[in-house]
Structure 1
Amino acid sequence: MTQQKIYLVGAGMAGWEGFSAKTLEIIGKAAVMIGHQRHLDIFPDFGGTKMVLGDLSELLDFLQKTDQRVVILSSGDPTFFGISRFLLRNLPKDRIEIFTNVTSMQYAFSRIKEPWDDAIFVSVHGRGMHAAVDKIVAAEKACVLTDKVNTPAAIAAELIERGAEGYEAWLCEDLGMPAEKFTRSDLRGLLESKPSDLNILILIKTYEPNLIQYPLIGIDDEEFQTSKKLITKQEVRAVTLAKLQLQDDLILWDIGAGSCSVSIEASNLMPNGRIFAVERNQQCVGFINENLKKFCARNVKLIEAQAPEGLEDLPDPDRVFIGGAGGQLEEIIDAVDKRLKQDGIIVLNAVTLDTLTKAVEFLEDHGYTVEATCVNIAKTRRLTEYKLFEAQNPVYVIAAWKENV
């Protein structure tokens, strides 16, 4: 059986007038037209068979068996969060021809008079929301395709929970239709919104005019709200972050977060990553919330728990920093070892020889290669008209990883 080509045609925002002469000719010669009902309604006089797009497995079965000329209508650019990914994965590429059109996202940006070349585009349509929100908080401008579950209100609630309220929001509904509507708001204004099912959410990050620009790493210790004993100090923090060998899109657990200083600087180094700061001390929890807000660490999520409790619901980590164990070091290392991804790294800071000895022993018992670095810091302080060095207590930075066999 000789199989005809499948024509994947994007519908624009202006009905049939938005199609080129070439695509109208293709549609006119097709025997079967497939698409959502709103797309099929654009061509009331189509002479062939119309099929409403439904279950993709049924669609694939039909396309694999048919010898008819088929045109599939989709929104805008079929290769942009569209059906083309499914078809190209399951059918020979040389059997498919694609004709793109203006996307709803492009149209939305033009209507609100906002450039879109610096935006990121994410879809939560039929997908989980959390991965998309991870990308949104790291971006200056985002355009989101929503659905009935992952609504603009749900996305706004998740952003607010993460402390990321600084967005101007545009809710764009029923684009290209008579009921087309654009609503400008902030995130809290979205919480009670009940938009049309056909909507796009555009988020544009705004800044307070007096926002201080802090360095990526090396933030002064005094800038953090903290109990003085529960902070990884500036110089030790730098060594700790180096030993973690962070990359942009990793998952980091910060266990015994204290002031959250390590998580906050790590978030600057991996804006597309996900960081979970685990802390049980209620005073520290209050400090952490203040610091997360102050430093706009939007991809850091506070977990109020005493490790190893609270770790089971977190995604598997690429990196783990243990700044405090609360007397449960062996239990924490055991829990981390069961979840750490391949090529993962554990970094643990110790201030006593007892913790150093136990940590090395526990890690080696679990099959890790261990490297311990002793960080001795002495800083100048003024004594009358002279300066002298004042030594700080040494900190042992322990890095551990498993060799690939």
Structure 2
Amino acid sequence: MKKWLSIIGIGEDGIQGLSAIALAVLEQAKIIIGGERHLAMLPPNDRREKITWKSPFDTSITEIINRRGESICIVASGDPMCYGVGATIIKHIPISEITIIPAPSAFSLACSRLGWNFLEVETLSLCGRPASLLQSYIYPGGKLLILSEGKNTPGIVAKMLTNRGYGDSKITILERMGGIHERIFTGRSASWQETEIAALNTVAVECIADVGIVGLSRFPGLPDNAFHHDGQLTKREVRAVTLSTLAPLPGELLWDIGAGCGSISIEWMRSNFRCRAIAIEQNANRLNYITDNAAALGTPNLQIIAGKAPEVIQELPTPDAIFIGGGVTAPGLFDLCWNRLRPGGRMVANVVTLEGEKTLFEWYEKAGGNFTRISIQRAEPIGKFLGWKGMSPVTQWVAYKSSLLTTELCCN
């Protein structure tokens, strides 16, 4: 099918800011789709059919698909593929049917105003997303560019920075960039009081930590006290080894079975913003810990499921990796998990009991893999002195699923 759908990025300077090619594509369209602000940029005498975005957004996507083949042009802010409508539409309509002509993104414009190197900046959007996503981007010396949900977003960002111990961070608001009403002003997070802010704004942050504040690394092995828990926590050193064994890659999905306070799945997701995880836990109090920890550590999109693993995982999406931190002795758990694991995926289990080790050896006899004994000692006070106190040794089993092994297990 020919290219019937076009998506054109448009800036605050409106139609007159479009390139000759973008303008020609827009003029040839029979139907124009966009937000009210974008459609208002068209000439008053433009009599073509115009459609504004509907809520929920999927309704508009369905309407576009139903009109496949008609000459449609979508007008959107800046670069449609940078947290924009284009990134959503491309999931439903192949690029072979679409023409995309971007304008400079808000991030590019902000970097040009501030003199920042785009490659050295952290970027994220809080439009329609939980503000707690910001938590994992905060670190000493970090430079952040944030697409705002609206005029209240800068205040939320300032409060979050201050609460994290970054009260001296410099916040710059860039309003309506590229238009005649462009405005730029700055302040400090701890003393932020600005309320007269345009709804269309981008927030730039230079993270400055208070004296004594230690940043939380995205590298596995956060301090134990970074998590709220009741003792059911994979300790820092064991957690670092476990995440190294799980080896998350961008876009991969983890099942965290017997999640406790969620430390493994949260650190999995912190490793890359595209990593996904599902935390499965049956204890109601621990479910609350997982929710709190996910928000506090910047992974609010962690999917949390209440219940026992064998009963609740059968309909879940196929995982790339599975971690079992509790409940290994549940009947049928191995077969169910192993059969659902994608070929090439890995399965890791940690146990501290003899019964758990017996179960893992049975799994080893079925799927192979290897064992590691993790023994950690920490120095703790003994009277006036320091002495070594050992934590319970952890037996870790890891196996990698191959297509050949899957066939053998099914046949047997």
TM value normalised by structure 2: 0.57
AA of the residue aligned to 1:118: E
Counterpart for residue 404 of structure 1: 406
Coordinate RMSD, CA, aligned? 6.2
Counterpart for residue 373 of structure 2: 375
Partners of 2:369 and 2:3 lie apart in 1 by 63
Counterpart for residue 107 of structure 1: 109
SS in 1 for 2:108: helix
Counterpart for residue 342 of structure 2: 342
Gaps spanning 5+ residues in structure 2: where?
A: 53-59, 380-387, 408-412
AA of the residue aligned to 1:53: I
SS in 1 for 2:103: coil
Map 1:42-81 → 2, pairs under 5 A: 42-44=41-43, 49-54=47-52, 55-56=60-61, 58=63, 64-65=69-70, 73-81=75-83
Partners of 1:182 and 1:244 lie apart in 2 by 45
Q: What's the offset of the Cα at 1:321?
A: 3.6
The one of 118, 121, 129 aligned to 2:120: 118
CA 154–345 in structure 1, closer or farther in 2 if over 3 Å, else same: farther
Counterpart for residue 248 of structure 2: 246
Partners of 1:379 and 1:164 lie apart in 2 by 31
Partners of 1:56 and 1:303 lie apart in 2 by 25
Counterpart for residue 258 of structure 2: 255
Map 1:140-155 → 2, pairs under 5 A: 140-145=142-147, 152=153
The percentage of aligned residue pairs carrying the same residue is 19
Partners of 1:4 and 1:331 lie apart in 2 by 54
Partners of 1:81 and 1:224 lie apart in 2 by 30
Mapped pair 1:330 → 2:327: no
Q: What's the offset of the Cα at 1:64?
A: 2.1
Counterpart for residue 34 of structure 1: 32
Counterpart for residue 385 of structure 1: none
CA 302–31 in structure 1, closer or farther in 2 if over 3 Å, else same: closer
- Deviation track 1:102-158 (CA, whole Å, cap 9, x = no partner) reads 334433454566554434555566x7x36x96697358555455668xx8499869x
8 Å Cα contact 1:170/1:185 also seen in 2: yes
8 Å Cα contact 1:33/1:40 also seen in 2: no
Partners of 1:397 and 1:213 lie apart in 2 by 29
CA 333–198 in structure 1, closer or farther in 2 if over 3 Å, else same: same
Mapped pair 1:13 → 2:18: no
SS in 1 for 2:358: helix
Map 1:160-199 → 2, pairs under 5 A: 174-175=176-177, 198-199=200-201
AA of the residue aligned to 1:355: G
8 Å Cα contact 2:8/2:22 also seen in 1: yes
AA of the residue aligned to 2:256: W
CA 89–188 in structure 1, closer or farther in 2 if over 3 Å, else same: farther
SS in 2 for 1:342: coil
8 Å Cα contact 2:268/2:275 also seen in 1: no
TM value normalised by structure 1: 0.58
Partners of 1:22 and 1:8 lie apart in 2 by 12
Q: What's the offset of the Cα at 1:394?
A: 5.1
Q: What's the offset of the Cα at 1:50?
A: 2.9
Partners of 2:281 and 2:73 lie apart in 1 by 53
